[in-house]
């Protein structure tokens, strides 16, 4: 998507990698922190995102703590188990994935910022084997399947990250 705007994407493995603590109070703050730090260290524009699952009945949790909801960063099985426990007996299972993208520049130019969202609901049981994270529990009405049952192309078409990246690409095209 970015190549059509003359932007060559460099993988993180080709840059000076740094650890950025995601201690912001929102997806937007965490994305900004990561992009700004990478842009400064590498003296290149840097794109970062922060994303997560928000559940209405849980007041937006797990939210910015999505990847470490059960206490260990990246433990998908534990996170899914905790989510199902938290929603046991709950009728309102409305949920959404949210993504904030931040493109920072090392020369201090104003960043490009975009967000994407996809609405759905949390299933009572796992469904599907594709994807990662909460995908087996997230039912997407636009696709009429869980994210874990969708093909990568289907998911990219409606996902929060896909929407945020398309919005960012549109900003770059207009600039």
Active site residues: 50
Q: Which residues of 82-100 are buried (b: 16+ CB within 10 A; e: fewer)?
A: bbeeebeeeeebebbbbbb
**Residue 53: φ, ψ to 5°:** -100, 135
Answer for the pair 111, 102: CB distance below 8 angstroms, yes or no: yes
């Amino acid at each position: 998507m970015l190549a059509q705007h003359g932007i060559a994407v460099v993988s993180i493995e080709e840059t000076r990698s740094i650890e950025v603590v995601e201690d912001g109070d929102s997806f937007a703050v965490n994305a900004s922190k990561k992009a700004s730090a990478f842009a400064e260290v590498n003296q290149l524009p840097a794109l970062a995102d922060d994303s997560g699952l928000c559940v209405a009945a849980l007041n937006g949790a797990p939210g910015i703590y999505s990847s470490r909801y059960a206490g260990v960063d990246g433990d998908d099985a534990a996170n899914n188990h905790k989510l199902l426990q938290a929603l046991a007996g709950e009728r309102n299972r409305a949920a959404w994935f949210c993504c904030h993208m931040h493109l920072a520049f090392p020369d201090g130019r104003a960043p490009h910022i975009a967000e994407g969202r996809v609405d759905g609901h949390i299933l009572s049981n796992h469904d599907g084997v594709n994807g990662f994270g909460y995908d087996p529990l997230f039912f997407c009405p636009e696709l009429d399947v869980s994210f874990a049952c969708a093909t990568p192309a289907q998911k990219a078409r409606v996902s929060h990250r896909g929407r945020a990246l398309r919005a960012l690409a549109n900003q770059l095209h207009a600039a």
